[in-house]
Structure 1
Amino acid sequence: MAKDVEAAPGGGEYTAKDYSDPPPAPLFDAEELTKWSLYRAVIAEFVATLLFLYITVATVIGYKHQSDPTVNTTDAACSGVGILGIAWAFGGMIFVLVYCTAGVSGGHINPAVTFGLFLARKVSLVRAVLYMVAQCLGAICGVGLVKGFQSAFYVRYGGGANELSSRYTKGTGLAAEIIGTFVLVYTVFSATDPKRSARDSHVPVLAPLPIGFAVFMVHLATIPITGTGINPARSLGAAVIYNNEKAWDDHWIFWVGPFIGAAIAAAYHQYVLRASATKLGSSASFSRN
């Protein structure tokens, strides 16, 4: 049990509510493989990622069809949901699905998020690997449903696959994925931090909301560059079902970038923000005594 002591406005001090940091997850726990809760969580990750890819890729395909000048000859440029609508689809679905699955699996729905939480010892290696496999399989199945339901438009409009824009270099695309994933994973750590929850208990914050908004904002910034990956399962699912050479050309960016961004976010939160807060609290407590 820890007690956070911080400086209050005006130079005074106040003590936040007590909070408990969960113990680090074991690197490998064979007993975990015998628990139904693990497999229930893996199923939840599979279904959530399937639904995420189905809704979002269907939105992308629908927008491209509606804004196709050969189909809508009058006002194609103003038709469809636009980039803003696509960003809302991704951010909104993450908000909904994290809210629905947080109590079962933690609501990762993204291998980069799982990787960052694994590095911070929030999940075990066994759970992390099973989550990532489930997320990738769910993404493939979700995009497969889109292709099955919209077969007339799927290939024509690029299958919702992430591709590096010809106007940008590979370095720029990689940087966009690193920074975008950093924003997302940093938000995940901040929104689920038990210290923050205790300190700000008088201000109820629904954790899925800032996470969904982070996804929304990152999409607004990076759709023109890479189509916005920040989720290796999302990129893999679209690439596997579309299976076009262009979709695989720079696919490594959508794995390397998110994993680097997640690692930086985990290190920043655990060893800079949390470490400095602990030191500040300790020194304040010491000076008071």
Structure 2
Amino acid sequence: MRAKGHKNMEPLGKKGKRHEVSEEPPVHHHGKDYVDPPPAPLLDMGELKLWSFYRALIAEFIATLLFLYVTVATVIGHKKLNGADQCDGVGILGIAWAFGGMIFILVYCTAGISGGHINPAVTFGLFLARKVSLIRAVLYMVAQCLGAICGVGLVKAFMKSYYNGLGGGANSVAPGYNKGTAVGAEIIGTFVLVYTVFSATDPKRSARDSHVPVLAPLPIGFAVFMVHLATIPITGTGINPARSFGAAVIYNNGKVWDDHWIFWVGPFVGALAAAAYHQYILRAAAIKALGSFRSNPTN
């Protein structure tokens, strides 16, 4: 055994001189190969002075408008065709594809500008994880709700003869299900969506799995698609309070308003659960904060 840094002596050369070869100690790199962004401040008044902040609000407004226009128009179109011929129309599968596909497209387009939330529940979850400030979260939600109202308003303007008679694409509890079941469905559905958002945008996961190229909007869009397949028969699938609010405002039906609280409480509780699960269980934020023990770096 040689001590670290010991110099090996080569055999004598032709001129009787030895050549010294130093053994360098091995270099170990212990630094993280990813960087977690610092927590967003609770109140960041400086954002109100930035054009990039207002540009993000515009992006969220337009994205939610387009999302509601395409998806609600798909729902109304399906009901129109299916009413004439039960074998016609895109069916539940087509409606789920419309919602999931539009989320994929719009998150891809707006992620670099606003983060591509397009959903108050997603914004709420990211706020709880300190990814956005309170001011940004509140104004994002306002922009999303206004965009949703305008998007559904366009559907009613273009499909006026069918809109009111075919339910307006509004969310309510389907016959045969109670409100408790509906709340549970919305909580679980939103949990799946927000958990996917956290996982797809996690810097640690991106660094660890850099050899697996995954476009973040793709799993998010698929999460929306899968949740719609499961919950369309129960609630019409909310998981997005802006989507439910925009449709309720334009359709303006008593039954829809009676059930409307479900589509805020369920998604917000689901977002809370997903944020807590990802941050405090998977990322062990509480343990790291207490410093009780180091998490396994290979996790």
User: Does residue 1:225 correspond to 2:234, yes or no?
Assistant: yes
Match for residue 132 of structure 2?
123
Other-structure match for 1:112:
121
CA contact (8 A) 1:53 1:142 kept: yes
Counterpart amino acid of 1:163?
A: S
Partners in 2 of 1:247 and 1:88 — Cα distance? 24
Paired with 1:15 and 1:91, the residues of 2 have a C-alpha distance of 40
Q: Is the 8 A contact 2:284 2:295 kept in 1?
A: no
User: How far is the alpha carbon of 1:188 from its aligned partner?
Assistant: 0.2
State how 1:1-80 maps to structure 2 within 5 Å.
18-68=33-83, 72=84, 76-80=85-89
Distance 1:201 1:16, change over 3 A: farther
SS where residue 37 of structure 2 aligns?
Answer: coil
Residue 282 of structure 1: how far off its partner (Å): 3.5
Match of residue 105 from structure 2: 96
Q: Distance in 2 between matches of 1:269 and 1:42?
A: 26
Q: CA RMSD in A?
A: 1.9
Q: Give 1:169's aligned residue.
A: 178
Helix, strand or coil at the partner of 1:92:
helix
Aligned to 1:160: 169
Q: Give per-residue Cα distances to partners, 1:115-170, cap 9 Å, x unaligned.
A: 00000000000100110000000000000000000001000101000010121011
Whether 1:133 aligns to 2:133 is: no
The structure with more radius of gyration: 2
Return closer, same or farther for 1:121/1:283 CA change in 2, 3 Å cut-off: closer
Are the aligned partners of 1:16 and 1:199 in contact in 2 as well (CA < 8 Å)?
Answer: no
Relative contact order, higher structure (CA 8 A, sep 6+): 1
* Alpha-carbon distance change, 244 to 284 in structure 1, aligned in 2, over 3 angstroms: closer
* Correspondence for 1:247: 256
Instruction: Give the residue type in structure 1 aligned to 2:77.
Output: G
TM-score normalised by the chain length of structure 2: 0.86
Relative to structure 1, the CA distance from residue 153 to residue 16 in structure 2 (aligned partners, 3 Å threshold; closer, same or farther) is farther
Percentage of matched positions with identical amino acids: 78
Distance 1:15 1:209, change over 3 A: farther
TM-score, normalised to structure 1, is: 0.89
1:15: how far off? 8.5
CA shift in 2, pair 1:284/1:185, >3 Å = closer
Unaligned runs of 5+ in 1: 1-13
Closer, same or farther: CA 214–283 of 1 in aligned 2, 3 Å: closer
Deviations 1:36-66 (A, max 9, x none): 1100000000000000000000000000000
Residues 1:152 and 1:205: Cα distance change in structure 2 (over 3 Å): same
4+ residue segments displaced more than 6 Å: 14-17, 276-279
Q: 1:193 to 1:16 in 2, by over 3 A?
A: farther
Unaligned runs of at least 5 residues, structure 2? 1-28
Measure, in 1, the Cα distance between the counterparts of 2:37 and 2:264. 29
Aligned length: 266
Q: CA deviation at 1:17?
A: 6.5
Distance 1:206 1:161 in 2: 31
